[in-house]
Amino acid sequence: MQLLAAKFAQIATAIDATNAQIAALQAKLSELQEHQQQLLSVEQACQSAIAQIGTALSMLNHVDPSEIGTFKAAVDAQFGTDAIAFLEPATPTPAETIEPEPTAPIAPEPVTEPEIEPAIDVEVTVTDTPATDAPIKPATPATDIEGKLNKLSIQSIRKLASAKGIDAKGTRAAIAGRLKAIVTNADLRAIG
């Protein structure tokens, strides 16, 4: 009987070790799935931002093509700001190396992937054309927009900056400086 008791203890130890390895692998799987979901969210946000830039560029080309350079400079400035330096990149946690003990192979259970909804592309059509045959008014100069931005409350200007995907931190003048190249009078009326 003692021979069988020792064998049962040996098998129980092997089962416990395998269960510990399975738990560690499941934790790693969850971590990787979470990271994959974060990457998907970033991808969707980037695609949305690119689509919004395309829409804004099209609108600007329609309203005042001479301001396209200013718009490009504002977009380029986002990549050169100190705000990016303050962002902390994700630091992956070092995974523990798990050395499995040699055991007899066991057929794995099928793993079902979580269902991920596909991204939906939305095309925005903006019409600023008056419904009447009245003459089209010339575009408002950027200085007028900057003046209107500076008259907004700090809460309103931060809300507008967030809506436009611009950094909403800083003074009213700093935020207005970032917004003046991309905000239209329609945006200001919507906030007002």
Positions of E strands within 79-121: none
pLDDT more than 90, % of the chain: 16
What is d(CA 134, CA 192) in angstroms, rounded to the nearest whole number? 25
Residues 43-68 have pLDDT tens digits of 998 899 888 988 988 898 888 889 88
For residue 66, give the DSSP letter.
G
Confidence (pTM):
0.38
Greater pLDDT, 102 or 174: 174
Cβ–Cβ < 8 Å for 171, 150: no
Instruction: Show contacts of 60-65: CB within 8 Å, 24+ apart.
Output: 62/128, 63/128, 63/139, 63/184, 64/139
pLDDT more than 70, % of the chain: 66
Question: What pLDDT sits at residue 140?
Answer: 47
Question: What pLDDT sits at residue 36?
Answer: 93
Residues 63-101 have pLDDT tens digits of 888 988 888 888 887 777 665 655 566 665 555 566 656
Residue entry with tokens 């207005």: 176
- Domain map (residue ranges) of the chain: 1-63, 67-86+139-192
Residue 163, CA atoms < 13 Å, CB-side half-sphere: 13
Any idea what the Cα angle at residue 106 is, between residues 105 and 108, rounded to 5°? 125
Question: What pLDDT sits at residue 45?
Answer: 87
Proportion of the chain in helix, strand, coil states, percent, rounded to 5:
60, 0, 40
